[in-house]
Structures are given as structure tokens and as C-alpha cells.
Structure 1
Amino acid sequence: MTEKIVFNIDGQTGRIDKILADFMTGTSRSQIQAWIKDGNLMVNDKAVKSNYKVQDGDLLELTIPEPEQINVTPEDIDLDVIYEDDALLVVNKPSGMVVHPSKGHLSGTLVNGLLFHVNSLSDGTANIRPGIVHRIDMDTSGLLVVAKTNEAHQKLAEQLENHTMERAYLALVHGVIPHEDGTIDAPIARMMIDRKKRTVADGGKKAVTHFEVIERFRDFTLLKLRLETGRTHQIRVHMKYIGHPVAGDPMYGPAETLSGHGQYLHAATLGFIHPTTGEKMHFEAPLPDFYSEKLAELRKN
């Protein structure tokens, strides 16, 4: 059953998501941002974004949707935890693992494993996403930071929003890229004919990807990519857009591509400011064996 909260702004100023988080004790700011993104907040009968600055006299109406009815069961899954403390942990996710449960993936996800191994996780943005600050695709391997507390979650989410969290990927792409580096600045939107896919389109959300060439092969190029923004499928969409789709990508790549364990995309580097200590944290994860073996094969050819 949905719930509606209506109240007036009286003398307060600042971002709407922060105002609501202060008002709704026990609800994370990231959860509120997710509700706003889904169009559940009206200010003076108009939808607004999370960065809307409230004004004295504004009338807010927030609709809290009924939680998704998916039971998340703890499962004894072998997780590659490369760092852990009282506030967070950093996990090296294998290719083929889904980050959180959904109607098509009710078990075997990272969240199922986390619930078994970790005593406490943040609320996340939904009951099926405890601890999840950011996601990577099922067939992408690599580093994720997971929050144990709501305070840690919020501070890490702010670093994502402010583009201060360091994230670098290694991608093997089709074709030989002649120049040494480049930047793709192209907005990304959901496709109208296939809502699961994204595309570069006018009116989409700003998306910026920086890349540099690491190694060239006869028909492929190994790239290091840094995300300035974090749109769904951003690297995969941007690489297709410039004519160099990620090898093994079942959604955006060509029919004839490299076989393996999904797309050759690996979240190799993760850096952030620790939400409790203020320390600069930096982590690197080596390529999965199947990825390294494919590169060795390409070098021989």
C-alpha cells in the first residue's frame, strides 16, 4: 500500500533531497533520491529533481511506493572481499554475477552473498539492494564498494554524484583505435523500442567517458576508461557509438565477437574518500583468468 506525505516548507532552504532526509529520520538520502527520480515527489503540483532548491512556502507531496515484494535470502556464496571495516567493504565481483535480486534473478546475487557474510548493511535504495552504493553489469567483473551503515552509504553516494569517486575500467574493444586517447561526451537515453537498452540521443542524460589506449592487436584494442558520469551501460553504449563495441557484449556488440565469459569489461580501479576516517582509499583488481588468457591468445596471433 502506498503512503503520501504532504507538508509545507517553512523557513528552510537547501536541496530538496537533503531537506526530506532530515525530515524523514531513518530513511536514507539515496532512497529519497530514488523516489524523486521515479517521479514520486511533487512540489507545488510539479515534478522536480533531487537538486531542486526549496523555497519558503513550497508545498511538498511525496508518494512512498509499496516495497517490491521480493524476499532476499542469505546464501553462502564465496565472495572475493579485498577490504572490510566497520563502515564498508570492497568486493571484486566475478563476471556472470548479478549485483542484486530482481524478478529474473532471485538468488545467487552479490546481495544474497553479502547478507550471509556481513552482519550489517545500509538500507540502500530498496529492500532488494541493501548496501549497494553503485552497480556494475552482470557480465562485467571488478570492484564495488558496499556500505554497512546509512551514514557511510550517503557519503559514498555523494562522491558518486559529485564525480569524485575514481573508477577505471579495462575494456577490450573491436577494431584498432589509431589515436592514443580521447573523450566521448554524448548524452545517453533509454531506447524507445527496447526499454532494456540505452542509446546516444539528444535530450538524454549527460554522459562523459575518457579513454586511453593500453595495447593494440590485429583486430582489437585494449583500453583504460575513466567514467566522469555513471549512466547505465555507459561504456558499452559509448564504445558502440564510436564504432568500437566491447568484445563479447551480447547487447551492443556485433554477432561475431570473442567468446568467453560475457563482455571483456573489468572494473579494475576504485578510489574514494573513506566516509568515516577521511582517508584516501585506492584499490585495484587484476583481470580475471579468462580475460588474461584471451589477451595472451591475441598477442600470439
Structure 2
Amino acid sequence: MTTLPALPQPRAGSRAWLLADTPHTRTQAIWGRRYRLWLGLRTNPLAVIGLFTVLLVLLISVCAPLLAHYPPGAQDLANRLAKPSSLHWLGTDELGRDTFSRILYGGRITLGMVITVVAIVAPLGLLIGCVAGYAGGLLDRILMRITDIFLAFPRLILALAFVAALKPGIESAILAIALTAWPPYARLARAETMQVRGTDYIAACRLTGATSARIVWQHIMPLCVPSLVVRITLDMSSIIITAASLGFLGMGAQPPSPEWGAMIATARRFLFEEWWVPLIPAVAIFITSLAFNFLGDGLRDVLDPKER
């Protein structure tokens, strides 16, 4: 019997290999999907700007010790409230601390809080929503009524109540924001689960003897991830603003910590004279939040099939 020669494989990493209609390996399929996602995302200029802005903010925050000219807490009272200059690119605050250095280190705190919150609420909301949507019945009603209770309160007010019940600080702020941010993800995951739980795909899984836990974990939750990623990206700006608001109100990061919201709080009395002192951290919050919104809109256009 004559064996047919093996078909030539495109060079790994090439465009042809990534865009192959019939992937030969799981790795090729995964990277092909990611490449198609990038091709769809780059057609949206605002999404690309948002992506690179987010990456830039993350990079300079991580590299703050290498980029900062001065320690964030170093005081120079003889040079307090200095205007932006070659020595202090963004000026100094009321204690003579370099604003540029504090913005860099503040990004580590603010973005660290946001990333920690997302790492907590995304899996929690996804799990609760998928379990409620797949189980239905009494369990669904109980979980959704708990979700409705959290949704009935404004996020910032509820976060303030949680922080006040604990103690002001970064850890308390992270926990408070996480406790108030998970309900929208649970509702979204539940809606996605209810759309797929009656499909032939899930029925075939049941016929093979898969348990409910296995179906939810391995088959339903992965289907909900794309919509959840879009919602998380769009929510990042509100989480940033909530974290900064807690810092501004004295319930988040405490002075002399260079957190963006706390920086605005301590400098607000100089708004009309030395306006650059409170304005610079506000601009940092604005640019980062806007970048996440641009990126979220672009991801929604690419990942949401209803938008295509």
C-alpha cells in the first residue's frame, strides 16, 4: 500500500501557519485564534491606542525604581511647590517631594489594587453566575437575590461602609471593592450559561456521564470567559476611580503613600494657586481610565459575536 507523502507544514510562527483553516495541533489553533483577535483589534485605532497606553502605564509603574529621579518620600522643604523644571519634571508637592517619582510609584499602588480586585472578583463572579445559571431552581434564586442585594447599593457607598467597618488602608480598600464589584460579573455569567445549558453540546456532555461540576468547570465557564474579559476591561476604569475615591476620602491608601487619589486629597487646597500639584495625579487617573475604556470597546467589537 502506497503511503501519501506528508503535507508540508508552514514555518512555525509564520502568518500562513497562524491563519491556517485546519490547524494541525492545539497550539496552532490557540495561537491562530489569538492572531485573528489581534488582526481584528488593530482595525480599531482607539483600541490600539488604549492597549499601548495601558501597557505603557503598566511598564513605567513596574520600572518605577529605575525611572524615578528621587525616592517618592524624600522631602525638600526648601523646594516645596516648585513648578515643573529640568530638576523636577512635574514639579514638587507641599513637602517638596518629586511629583514625577510619586506618580510612578503611585501607579504601582493604584494598578496593583485594581489588578488584585480583578483577580478576586472575576473568578468569583464567573463561578457564582455559572453555578446559578446551570443549576436553576432554588439555588439560582438564592444566589441571584444575594446578587441583587449587592447591586441595590451604589458601589462607592457600599465600599465606604465596608472600609469603615474594618479600618482604612490598602488591604481594606481591596477587600471592600472586591465585595462590591462581583455582582455584574455573576449576572453576565448567568445569562451566558442559560443560553448554552440547553444546547446539544452540553447534552452530549451529559450523555457521556460528565458530572454537573465537570460540565460547569470545563465546558460552560470557558464559554463565558470572552464576555467576561470584555466586561472586566470596561469596568477597570470604574474600579480605578473607586480605588482613587477611597484614597481621596481617606479610606484607602494612607499618606505618605503615593497613591493617586490620596495625592489629590492632600493637594486639593492648592488647586487655584499651584494647580499642577493636584492636576497631575488627576490626569494620570483620567488617561489610564480612558485607555481601559478604549481597549474595552475594541475587545467588545472583536469578542462579542453580536457586534460583528
Q: Same fold (TM over 0.5)?
A: no
The higher radius of gyration belongs to 2
After TM superposition, the score normalised by the length of structure 1 is: 0.27
Which has the larger helix fraction? Answer: 2
Which has the larger strand fraction? Answer: 1
Larger RCO, structures 1/2 (Cα 8 Å, 6+ apart):
2
